[in-house]
Amino acid sequence: MNENFYRYAIYTVFSAAALFSAFLVTSDNVSPFTTQATLYRNVATIAPEVSGVITDVMVSNGELVEKGQPLFAIDASSYQLKVAQAKAELHQARDSDSAKWQQLAAAKQTQSQREFEYHNAKQKLARNQKLRNKGLATEQDLDDAITNTQVASSAVEAANAEVKRIEVELSTQDRTAAIELAEAKLASAELDLDHTQVVAQTEGVVTNLQLQSGSYITQGTSSLLLVDEAHAWISADFNEKGIDKLTNGREVLVSFDALPGKVFTGEVSSQERAIYDTNNANGKLSSVTNDTRWIREQQKVRTRITVNELDPSMISGSRASVIVESGNPIMHVIGSAWIHLVSTFRYIY
């Protein structure tokens, strides 16, 4: 009786081992399986757009924040002064612009006066020429009239040049370049002042919070992380032999290490189409690796998987095991049994 029991036990163990070996051999080609899978969630990195001393931290670690909710504040004193300075410069530019328009009006009046004087000088010249021809005027009178006409003409040209100079400074627009520059500087200063209040640009959960009031933080420094609980995916690495089974929409079964005994369904959503090769970086000579082993390590294919009805308690970085449905009824039963066995085994390890 004992001999039969041991014989059947040995046969059972060997049969199970043989079936398991056969499953592993055929799995990559029919129903790919991997334990190299990790859950990821979108993580937004929050960095201030201005530098300064942190005056207030308005959130706590693990808190769910809404889009637009204040996260922390930076000392705004220096930025308020910059806004005040920019406003003063804009006021000065507008005053200068107003003075320029007054100068233009005065220059145009001078221009009209010089043109009138030039016209009068030409008339006097014409009269003196007639009188000289009749012998009623001296040569000196004619020379004086010519000189006065030339001086008046030069004065008209100078007045015209002054008007054009002021018009160029003012341009034909409603605002001069100086005003536009001052307005842009004011807008930039006001924007920097607004950025002293750092707000959430998306909904998420605060994680790894290390901010403290009184600390100095520089512009662009990563300061806070928000985890998007609404979007998650699994990044799984399969052997490349099963690449034809890793098509978009293919159903999968997933077991998480953190949730033993539970199996989730999902589907392949995409596949990475390139693998980084450290031995053949762009712009460098290829580096050939000589491998003395007869059987080399298989290449992995990175696949993104979407899980249906994901447990919200799962954190980004959770490890998982994934098997791809083959469409074959027999392999479906075997694969489902295997992933459930793996899930149950997680109670122990």
Tens digit of each residue's pLDDT, the chain (349 residues): 566 767 777 878 788 777 777 776 777 778 888 999 999 998 999 999 999 999 999 999 989 999 999 999 999 999 999 999 999 988 887 777 666 777 777 777 878 888 887 888 788 878 878 777 777 777 777 777 788 888 878 888 887 887 787 777 766 555 667 778 888 999 999 999 999 999 999 899 999 898 999 999 999 999 899 998 888 999 999 888 888 888 899 999 999 999 999 999 999 999 888 777 666 666 666 666 666 666 677 788 899 999 998 888 888 899 999 999 888 888 888 888 888 888 998 888 7
Length of the chain: 349
**For residue 231, which of 203, 257, 191 has the smallest C-alpha distance?**
203
CB contact at 8 A, 245 and 26: no
Segment 61-87, tens digit of pLDDT: 989 999 999 999 999 999 999 999 999
What Rg do the C-alpha atoms of the chain give, in angstroms?
A: 43
pLDDT of residue 283: 63
Distances (CA, A) of 259 to 99, 300, 314, 317, 336: 77, 26, 9, 14, 17
pTM: 0.66
Phi, then psi, of 78 in degrees rounded to 5 = -65, -35
pLDDT of residue 166: 72
pLDDT of residue 254: 94
CB contact at 8 A, 115 and 123: no
Which residue carries 């000189």 as its tokens? Answer: 147
CB contact at 8 A, 64 and 227: no
Instruction: Give the contacts of 335 (CB within 8 A, at least 6 positions apart).
Output: 27, 31, 33, 253, 323, 325, 326
**For residue 184, which of 48, 81, 67, 86 has the smallest C-alpha distance?**
86
